[in-house]
A and B are shown apart, each in its own frame.
Chain A
Amino acid sequence: MGTEGGGSHEAVFHPSTQEIELWMQKAFDMAKNALDNGEVPVGCLMVYNNNILGRGRNEVNETKNATRHAEMVAIDQVLDWCRHNNKDPADVFRSTVLYVTVEPCIMCAGALRLLNIALVVYGCKNERFGGCGSVLNIPADHLPHTGAPFKCISGYRSEEAVELLKMFYKQENPNAPKSKVRK
């Protein structure tokens, strides 16, 4: 299982600018696709050894479960991949990068930390629920019993990500109060 980080706990990933551009382009494509289908325009993917192991989109409505954010859905796909390929999820997540158009919320940040994810690259801030710096800073806080701290790279194509969210909430209901935002 040779990975860039050699599988060590301290593996810190430094994806190149080209890599970030490539994967974030895919995440934005997903977000736009979601918008075209009337879904929350957030795209996210889990990349492990240059392979996409998970692609998430918000499944809150179909599951009737308010916790089914894009990140949680993508996490489950990685777990499925681990089962089918007989890999230890702990090892895989330690070498996995999440690319997501919007800052993960506090819940998802907690989940990612519990799984010891290596790195999160995100687009715009999530002022309402953000768990990677906006409302709380889960990846950096002292939480010795909650997985391992992880690194974040933020602000990638941030305005574009905000614009997508704005378009969604405009088409959803022009009179909708802000509290309806559930990402």
Chain B
Amino acid sequence: MEPECKRRKTGTGALLSWDVVPVLSPEQCQDVELLEAYAAPIFNKRETSRLVKELATVCPLAGLPHIKRVRACPDKLSPHPLEVLICLADHKAHQEVPSLDMLLAGAGPIDSSSLGRPFLVRIAARPPLTRQQFEKASRHWPTSFHEDKQVTVALRGDLFTEERKTRMQTYMELAIQAAVAGQAQGMEAVGAVLVEPDSGSVLTVGHDCRYGPSPLLHAVMVCIDLAAHGQGGGTYKYKDYLACRFVRAVSGVHPTAEEGGHEELPYICTGYDLYVTREPCVMCAMALVHSRIRRVFFGVPTPDGALGSRYKIHTQKDLNHHYEVFRGVMAHECEQLSNRTAGTF
């Protein structure tokens, strides 16, 4: 295993053999939920805007602002090119579609003379968040879509250039080296690196120390504490663990620099990126929320992992800080590290 790992590392000019995959929120990943609704053809095209206006009053589609009221008839040969949504359906499979009069009974004043016989359609229950959801929803009924370009690009795997990926690889290689050094001292083979992304500077390098000063000193906690050391704080000592080190302080304005009482909040990782060889546990993932990390890149998932596997702490609703997560950086090498350890996270 070792020699192959080394060979890969030396091939700097070679194509990078791994992909960076965004770990999206459950809402972004979920399947498109569909609701049943009744639609009807519009006989007289010129009546369309009046019908839309009147239907909006007598049959508002509450909670469905993303749904377009009118669509072009999918059957291009139809004599009536437009169709309009009447209302949501409470439809059972064996039932016949009610007549227009039944649907509009008691709804309010509306001239429905230019509407045809209603039929059943399906519409998306929620606004689409990804292009994939949008395409799927649109196959049933048109919906609006406010595209997050970055998510689309990330899902295509094109968010990072080869140059950026090469840089990621150098950070992850540092994390892997730290993991190996930690393992040589009896720790789990997990390493992490904290990076200031604008300058590209490495701030701290840490490895797992759970069999050292504290069983809670996972590699991520070490990196956070080392960053605190760099600011004149910190809690644990790492002199027995030479691979755990504070590399450099970032000059310039830092969010913790603000002096004065309780206003001085040590959101020590604001704006920083963390590279870690395997998916963090729930304690570490939440520690990164408290520290205000910007992005996390990890190599391989873990069974109880909190950034995609068991939880998605980085997109957890109700929390006051969220961060971006990508997996897959040097996945093969990180996988080999994980195989070297029998322990869990």
Contact = CB atoms under 8 A, between A and B. Distances in A.
Interface of A: 38, 59-68, 72, 75-76, 79, 89, 105-111, 114-115, 127-129, 131, 135-136, 138, 141, 143-146, 172-173, 179-180, 182
Given A64-B232, A106-B286, A111-B216, A128 B318 contact: yes
B283 interface: yes
A62 B283 CA distance: 21
Interface stretch (B18-26, B164-172, B223-231, B326-334): B223-231
Contacts of B282: 106-107, 109-110, 131, 136, 138, 143, 146
Q: Which of A64, A106, A141 has the most chain B CB atoms inside 10 A of its CB?
A: A64
Contacts of A128: 318-320
B228 A64 contact: yes
Contacts of A68: 235
A114 B283 contact: yes
B233 A65 contact: yes
A150 to B, nearest CB: 14
Interface residues of B, number: 44
Given A66-B266, A110-B281, A146-B345, A38 B320 contact: no
Contacts of B289: 106-107
A67 B234 CA distance: 10
Contacts of A89: 215
A179 B319 CA distance: 10
B216 A145 contact: no
15 contacts: A61-B262, A61-B264, A61-B266, A63-B233, A64-B233, A66-B265, A66-B268, A68-B235, A75-B216, A79-B215, A106-B313, A111-B216, A115-B215, A141-B310, A182-B265
Contacts of A59: 235
A65 B224 contact: yes
B207 interface: no
Contact of B304 (A63, A106, A144, A180): A144
Interface of B: 214-216, 221, 224-225, 228, 231-235, 256, 261-268, 281-284, 286-287, 289-292, 302-304, 306, 310-311, 313, 316, 318-320, 344-345
User: Nearest 7 CB-CB pairs, A to B?
Assistant: A64-B233, A110-B283, A107-B286, A145-B344, A65-B228, A110-B282, A64-B266
Contacts of A141: 310
A135 B291 contact: no
Given A67-B290, A76-B214, A115-B215, A129 B319 contact: yes
Nearest to B317: A135
B304 to A, nearest CB: 4
A62 B232 CA distance: 9
Nearest to B345: A145
Q: Which of B215, B292, B311, B344 has the most chain A CB atoms inside 10 A of its CB?
A: B215
B286 A110 contact: yes
A33 B290 CA distance: 24
A144 B266 contact: no
A175 to B, nearest CB: 11
A143 B261 CA distance: 39
A182 B283 contact: no
Contacts of B215: 79, 89, 114-115
Contacts of A144: 303-304
Contacts of B267: 66
Contact of A115 (B216, B235, B306): B216
A68 B313 CA distance: 19
Given A63-B235, A76-B214, A107-B286, A172 B262 contact: yes
Contacts of B306: 110
